[in-house]
Structure 1
Amino acid sequence: MSDFSPGQRWISDGEAELGLGTILNVDARSVTVLFGASQETRTYSSRNAPLTRVAFGSGDRIESAEGWQMTVDDSKEVGGLIVYIGEDETGELCELPEARLADSMQFDQARDRLLTGQVDRNDWFDLRFRTLHHFHRIEQNPALGLAGPRIDLIPHQLYIADEVARRHAPRVLLADEVGLGKTIEAGLILHRLLLTGRAERALILVPASLTHQWLVELLRRFALEVTLLDEQQSEAHGETNPFEAGQLVLASQDWLFANPQRQQQAQACDWDLLIVDEAHHLDWRPEQSGPGYASVGRLASQTPGILLLTATPEQMGLTSHFARLRLLDPDRYHSLEAFREEEQHYVEVAEAIDALERLPGEDTDRSRVAAVIAEADSLALLDTLADPERGDDQHAAARDQLRDQLLDRHGTGRVMFRNSRRHVGGFPERRLHIAELEAPSSYRRVLRRLERDEDYLDELLIETGMGHPEVLIYPDAMYRVLTVDPLNTEPWWQFDPRVTWLLERLADDGEGGFADDKVLVIAHDRQTALGLAEGLRVLGGYQAPVFHEGLSLVERDRAAAAFADPEEGCQVLVCSEIGSEGRNFQFCRHLVMFDLPLHPDQLEQRIGRLDRIGQRHAIEMHVPVFTGSPGEKLLRWYHQGMDAFNTPHGLGSEIHAAFGDALAESLLDDESLEEVIAETRALFEVRLAERDAGRNRLLELNACRHDRADAVIEAIRELDADKALTRYLDQALDIFGVDSQELGGGILHLQPSPQMLEGLPGLVKGEEGFSATFSRSRALARDDVQRLSWEHPLLREMMGRILDGPMGNTALALLKHPAIPAGRLMVELVFRTHCPAPKRLHLNRFLPPTAVRVLLDESGANLTAKISFTGLSKAVKKVKKAVARDLIKSRHDQLRELLDGAEAEAERELPSIIEAAQMRMRTELDTELSRLEALSRLNPAVRTDELEALRNERTELDTAIEGARLRLDAVRVIVTVGEETR
């Protein structure tokens, strides 16, 4: 009882988060403590209370209950209570009784926690040091933000993401052809900006039909959780602004552009990045703007970064193209007429780049290059290249430098990135197989009447509630709607020849059969997909999972995984139209389009599920059609009018806008159909010729610098192969209380244990957890398996929690060594750089938290160079916390002296750390600044605010790095023991 007195300050060994406690009552058997900050009271046995007395020493800073602070010089005891003596913030001498210490004082810092007897486990200390080490090297890796997402390592995508995400407030147009991954590029840019702190809030506006695809892509590929906002969700927020509900907000353009109130709410928020998909639909003309364009324009004027996505940069006309560039930089693109004149110059630059490849050669080639350059450095390179006396190596180096300068300094390559399939390469052949079938009588009767009776179509539209031309194209859907009593009517799949044809192909192991292959089947309607799966099961015994919009994300993952499994998986997956959104099935080469969509973009989306970079086989497209039916006429329009099955061309939207209505009217008229096909073909060929003009060639050359892309890919592969990740994760999972089970095939299942620390992403106590793999290829093949990397949210959360909190920042261990007498003391201290700076500067790329380790013996001798961290960690043994507290208490004064001495030792390392960081920063930013300043004199696409931002960034970084300081991050006390000590 004599150890406790009312008014003394103690802390709980097991509940340090309660803060500073005050002894209220003491009797022979118990002690009662009030923890004022948390308003909690605890009563303990006075014999073995898990409490540690708080006693501060010289140099410690403490805070009073009134909020003022003092630095302790000395202390005295008055009636069993400590009175601290020292100086306040003004330098005045003062006293502070311990009873007046602030209840809210926390002991997170290593020094405070150690000297008050709070010690953690040795493995926590070990994990903390390793976390700091790994975080330091990962933050400086050039692939940071690009290595974690579940993507293939495709050069042009990674080049664009790396180039754009490096910029201050990037404002660019991503205009790759269909199937080249604009969504992935935008996701990579967003992911890196978020990870590096350059962006915190983003608004993503997409067409209503693509909201699900974006939701899936961002979640599955990038582990980014977004808030999907619509009118129902907005109304649920009542009077508050619904756009403040999340950091990343995904919304339908159709909804937002039609609602002025919601537009005002979106504009009232501070966004760092605005992403707009299908930007070619934004309508602008010199005399007026459409509502969508006006809304995006207002958001663009107040948002630093903008990504506009379109597969048709110029196909909708030069005016439309200028309108999109105007959103990015209204000062640069202020005049449509000036832009028209500027366009003429791009063909000359493209021809000059072509001429470079022929030099040294004809004088005309040299003249063609010289005509578009005027800078001294470029002319010197041209002289080298045109000199036949120079060696091949000199010619090659000069050609590469001059090509880069031409691409950099001319055209809109800085604001627009355009890759085409012919430029990228690596895509499979597409083969179309048409199966002409006879329509069943139930379908023929309706079609014959439609051909004879013009008014019957109107009756059908009213009776079925279907649209035109859906009622003509999807006869099974029409049949279902017209069926009055399903119990007395044969289901459509019993008599539809397409079902019989599919069953025959699935069983056929000959040429043209599917017996040994996976088959993806897509139908327009959800009920068609469900009925078809039922028909396959009943008539053929095939268990085919169905993938449709009525399923949850987890259910869709399971259906896709059941199809993807190469050993136990199903042969067939049946999808509704949603199956052409957001999922890739590159392991499959057979695509059966049970019917055809009405829009060319949806047709390309279907084919794009299989036709991806990385597909090893030709794409076999199978389309069963009824002879002479509207469906066959739609097939002819696609095939003969625009080569829609051969290769993606990005012209579908424009052609559908021009001829969609005429096509619908001609589905029952062969003569008018021929006219529509001929007119479609004529427009298609004109637009193809325009697309292949010189300007696009120039853009394609600038859209991927392969040396840069290769460097990024190499950095990513190094991280992919980093064996330290698996070792680190095993240790972290054990300490955080997560169970890991090997499932085979390189797949783990992570599940919360009852002891798991709360708040880990994807892991909730009582739930099943998730499956994951370190393998990029396995993760790409399995949508239900997450990919573990240094950038995975679980890893980032665990590392952040360790580095930002007190976990493992103190420890005490025993060391048995025959050469060291028992009772000797060592302290192992880990200091780390502390350098406050705004997140937008991404300081960590130059000076991430850097560890300085100091190991001192009890005499103050520095043993750091003689004994490694790993070697010492393997040799020390754990000790019970009660014993550790007694040891610390007995060596209190000695520990204070060693802590002060270690700080002086660590400070000697700081100047070299600062110098190296400044050198890295200046080398990178000075080079980029010089390049942009030279560019700005020739290329107005370099914005003035971008240059000014880079100059300011360099200045701010220089100041921040210069002000870097060291602070104690963790400390471990090591006591030597004799042979008899346990």
Structure 2
Amino acid sequence: MAGKLEAGAFVELRGRPWLVEETVKGGGEFESLRLSCIADDAQGEQLEVIWDAEIGPKILGEDNWQRVGASGPDSADVFAAHLRVIRWNSSTAAERDLFQAPFRAGIRLDTYQLLPLRKALRLPRVNLLIADDVGLGKTVEAGLIARELLLRRRIDFIVVAAPPSMTLQWKDELQAKFGLSFQIVDREHLAEMRRLHGFGVNPWRTGSRFIISHRLLTDEIYISGLRDVLGEFRARALLILDEAHHAAPAGGSRYAISSQFTKAVRNISERFEHRLFLSATPHNGHSNSFSALLEMLDPQRFTRGVEVRPRDLEPVMVRRLKSDLRRLGEAFPERRIEAVPISGLPADAPELDLARRLAAYGELRMARISTLPGQKAALAKLAFVGLQQRLLSSNAAFAKTLKVHRGSLAKLIDGEITARESQAALTFVASPSGEVTAELDLEDSEAEATHGSRRSLRDRGGVSRGGARSHKERA
């Protein structure tokens, strides 16, 4: 049967439609077909099969050409509609202002969300930094770009790197809003792949769309397989980096200091043809750190240590605040910060007693660490900062972080401090930042998940954007 199929024929097997690209003659009596998927959720995926060995294969449209014109000519309206359908379905890279993704997504689209898509299509390589304010729908804007590039067949491999607490939200939103199925690469998925396909399986070769957490980008067990798939450079591959400011090196000193996460992102990002960075706070106040982040995004335009000019940013960066869009007529609520006085609490209230004890503990620690060497003193200061932050978050988060703090004290006493932890601690004391806190594993997964769920509720808006639901935001 395979001999009757030629390149250009359409077939259906394994529940999806495919285009026959080539008939491959093997050494035996069977011939294999090299197929390319044409389904919306897996366009461009390659597959090689033996036709006679497939279950229930079907050849699509075998007699369509013989029926052309059998019912007479169509009316002018029907023919015009047919031409419009052909035009919409044959969008190419040359038609940069013809969008398909917004009409194939289950979202209520806001006009301002089309600007990142327009900018992306005008770039020869989609190296774009979306730095919109919190709540403007950066996830939707990234999904539109990914969907459009898939429809235009400019990409066939996507990796989304997000904070651990956001990976499941990315998977759900891309599936619900854009019909794109992604696989989260984590310990459970790796164990499942090894159970099904053997210990030597590369999970990155089992699909074309993946989500991985920031923490695992520094783990060689997971990243070595991704490097094998990408090679030195993979065309038609897209990297989406959520919370991209975590990859910017700390800039508290004269020179920006790269963390393990920074090095991991730099090593991986250069292997993708297209890169999409998302961050509501891309600039940490240090120009050297910002230029290093932009170099990872587009090394042809930016160089670490070289001043970034506004005219260089314009083609590759989208930055809008809610106040900007409010002036253009968008109905975003205005934030008002109101102090809520708390009076009448007894002096022995648990919250006040806990704060007093933590303050006393801090004074005692400062007296003790004053005699420690620089690296151990930096680690001690860093651990106490984490406790203060968690106490302001919630009592539950403070209790969980306190357990981690006790473990850190045990490591400090036993001298089990790695060079990476020492360097990150010194960097944090010079310039406190969230990515260095994650570098030192001062937050356990449950506390981070709690923080991430709050961000999820804050960022997730209606169907398309994460705007607040009330007319008044309170801090």
Range of TM-score over shorter length: 0.5 to 0.7
Corresponding residue number in structure 1 for 2:135: 179
CA contact (8 A) 2:137 2:466 kept: no
Q: Go from structure 1 to structure 2 and tell me whether the alpha carbon gap of 1:578 and 1:144 turns closer, same or farther (over 3 Å shift).
A: same
Report SS of the residue matched to 1:419: coil
CA distance in 2: counterparts of 1:305 and 1:137, whole angstroms: 26
1:225 to 181, 199, 202: 181
1:420 aligns with 2:321: yes
Corresponding residue number in structure 2 for 1:273: 238
What is the alpha-carbon root mean square deviation over aligned residues? 4.7
Q: CA deviation at 1:269?
A: 1.6
Q: CA deviation at 1:326?
A: 1.0
Q: Go from structure 1 to structure 2 and tell me whether the alpha carbon gap of 1:237 and 1:132 turns closer, same or farther (over 3 Å shift).
A: farther
CA distance in 1: counterparts of 2:152 and 2:339, whole angstroms: 51
What residue ranges of structure 1 are gaps of 5+ in the alignment? 1-16, 21-64, 69-101, 116-121, 123-128, 347-409, 459-465, 480-526, 528-548, 551-574, 588-607, 622-644, 646-982
What amino acid sits opposite 1:214 in the alignment?
Answer: W
CA contact (8 A) 1:218 1:224 kept: yes
What amino acid sits opposite 2:283 in the alignment?
Answer: E
1:619 aligns with 2:472: yes
2:286 to 294, 317, 325: 317
Corresponding residue number in structure 1 for 2:35: none
What amino acid sits opposite 1:277 in the alignment?
Answer: D
CA distance in 2: counterparts of 1:175 and 1:146, whole angstroms: 20
Report SS of the residue matched to 1:243: helix
Report SS of the residue matched to 1:159: helix
Q: CA deviation at 1:277?
A: 1.4
Q: Go from structure 1 to structure 2 and tell me whether the alpha carbon gap of 1:473 and 1:262 turns closer, same or farther (over 3 Å shift).
A: closer
CA distance in 2: counterparts of 1:107 and 1:246, whole angstroms: 25
Q: CA deviation at 1:232?
A: 2.5
What amino acid sits opposite 1:158 in the alignment?
Answer: L
CA distance in 1: counterparts of 2:206 and 2:313, whole angstroms: 37
1:212 aligns with 2:168: yes
Cα deviation, 1:555-600, whole Å, max 9, x if unaligned, reads: xxxxxxxxxxxxxxxxxxxx9736626632599xxxxxxxxxxxxx
CA contact (8 A) 1:173 1:415 kept: yes
1:162 aligns with 2:118: yes
Cα deviation, 1:950-981, whole Å, max 9, x if unaligned, reads: xxxxxxxxxxxxxxxxxxxxxxxxxxxxxxxx
1:240 aligns with 2:201: yes
Q: CA deviation at 1:446?
A: 6.2
Report SS of the residue matched to 1:293: helix
Report SS of the residue matched to 1:197: coil
Report SS of the residue matched to 1:237: helix
Q: CA deviation at 1:188?
A: 0.8
CA contact (8 A) 1:227 1:245 kept: no
Q: Go from structure 1 to structure 2 and tell me whether the alpha carbon gap of 1:455 and 1:412 turns closer, same or farther (over 3 Å shift).
A: closer
Q: CA deviation at 1:437?
A: 4.8
Cα deviation, 1:612-653, whole Å, max 9, x if unaligned, reads: xxx6x62253xxxxxxxxxxxxxxxxxxxxxxx4xxxxxxxx
CA distance in 1: counterparts of 2:354 and 2:99, whole angstroms: 64
CA contact (8 A) 1:19 1:106 kept: no
Q: Go from structure 1 to structure 2 and tell me whether the alpha carbon gap of 1:438 and 1:170 turns closer, same or farther (over 3 Å shift).
A: same
Q: How does 1:180-579 map to 2 (within 5 A)?
A: 180-238=136-194, 239-257=200-218, 259-270=219-230, 272-284=237-249, 289-334=258-303, 336=305, 339-340=306-307, 343=309, 346=310, 410-425=311-326, 426=330, 427-432=332-337, 435-437=340-342, 444-445=349-350, 447-448=352-353, 451=356, 454=360, 470=390, 474=394, 577=454
CA distance in 1: counterparts of 2:257 and 2:361, whole angstroms: 41
CA distance in 2: counterparts of 1:293 and 1:215, whole angstroms: 24
Q: How does 1:734-813 map to 2 (within 5 A)?
A: none
Report SS of the residue matched to 1:172: strand
Report SS of the residue matched to 1:164: helix
CA contact (8 A) 1:231 1:255 kept: no
CA contact (8 A) 1:202 1:273 kept: yes
Q: Go from structure 1 to structure 2 and tell me whether the alpha carbon gap of 1:234 and 1:433 turns closer, same or farther (over 3 Å shift).
A: same
Q: Go from structure 1 to structure 2 and tell me whether the alpha carbon gap of 1:114 and 1:234 turns closer, same or farther (over 3 Å shift).
A: same
Cα deviation, 1:39-75, whole Å, max 9, x if unaligned, reads: xxxxxxxxxxxxxxxxxxxxxxxxxx9789xxxxxxx
What amino acid sits opposite 2:238 in the alignment?
Answer: L
Q: CA deviation at 1:428?
A: 2.1
CA distance in 1: counterparts of 2:111 and 2:63, whole angstroms: 49
What amino acid sits opposite 2:278 in the alignment?
Answer: L
CA contact (8 A) 2:135 2:458 kept: no
Corresponding residue number in structure 2 for 1:398: none
Corresponding residue number in structure 2 for 1:633: none
Corresponding residue number in structure 2 for 1:580: 457
Corresponding residue number in structure 1 for 2:62: 110
CA distance in 2: counterparts of 1:234 and 1:439, whole angstroms: 55
Q: Go from structure 1 to structure 2 and tell me whether the alpha carbon gap of 1:445 and 1:166 turns closer, same or farther (over 3 Å shift).
A: closer
What residue ranges of structure 2 are gaps of 5+ in the alignment? 5-27, 32-51, 72-78, 92-97, 195-199, 365-385, 400-445
Cα deviation, 1:713-769, whole Å, max 9, x if unaligned, reads: xxxxxxxxxxxxxxxxxxxxxxxxxxxxxxxxxxxxxxxxxxxxxxxxxxxxxxxxx
CA contact (8 A) 2:105 2:179 kept: yes
Report SS of the residue matched to 1:250: strand
CA distance in 1: counterparts of 2:155 and 2:220, whole angstroms: 26
CA distance in 1: counterparts of 2:458 and 2:168, whole angstroms: 8
Q: CA deviation at 1:192?
A: 0.6
1:136 aligns with 2:136: no
CA distance in 2: counterparts of 1:196 and 1:220, whole angstroms: 21
Corresponding residue number in structure 1 for 2:103: 147
CA contact (8 A) 2:460 2:467 kept: no
CA distance in 1: counterparts of 2:208 and 2:149, whole angstroms: 13
Q: Which is higher, the Rg of structure 1 or of structure 2?
A: 1
Q: Go from structure 1 to structure 2 and tell me whether the alpha carbon gap of 1:207 and 1:111 turns closer, same or farther (over 3 Å shift).
A: closer
Q: CA deviation at 1:471?
A: 5.2
Q: Go from structure 1 to structure 2 and tell me whether the alpha carbon gap of 1:438 and 1:207 turns closer, same or farther (over 3 Å shift).
A: same
CA contact (8 A) 2:162 2:241 kept: yes
CA distance in 2: counterparts of 1:206 and 1:106, whole angstroms: 40
Q: Go from structure 1 to structure 2 and tell me whether the alpha carbon gap of 1:443 and 1:248 turns closer, same or farther (over 3 Å shift).
A: farther
CA contact (8 A) 1:273 1:305 kept: yes
CA contact (8 A) 1:214 1:582 kept: no
CA distance in 2: counterparts of 1:182 and 1:143, whole angstroms: 18
Q: Go from structure 1 to structure 2 and tell me whether the alpha carbon gap of 1:440 and 1:268 turns closer, same or farther (over 3 Å shift).
A: same
CA distance in 2: counterparts of 1:471 and 1:107, whole angstroms: 64
Corresponding residue number in structure 1 for 2:427: none
Q: Go from structure 1 to structure 2 and tell me whether the alpha carbon gap of 1:305 and 1:434 turns closer, same or farther (over 3 Å shift).
A: same
Q: CA deviation at 1:477?
A: 8.4
Q: CA deviation at 1:205?
A: 0.6
Report SS of the residue matched to 2:270: helix
CA distance in 2: counterparts of 1:245 and 1:103, whole angstroms: 21
CA contact (8 A) 2:126 2:274 kept: yes
CA distance in 2: counterparts of 1:470 and 1:334, whole angstroms: 37
CA contact (8 A) 2:216 2:223 kept: no
Q: CA deviation at 1:227?
A: 0.5
Q: CA deviation at 1:137?
A: 4.1
CA distance in 2: counterparts of 1:452 and 1:297, whole angstroms: 43
CA contact (8 A) 1:610 1:619 kept: no
Q: Go from structure 1 to structure 2 and tell me whether the alpha carbon gap of 1:132 and 1:295 turns closer, same or farther (over 3 Å shift).
A: farther
Q: TM-score, length-normalised on structure 1?
A: 0.29
CA distance in 1: counterparts of 2:454 and 2:216, whole angstroms: 21
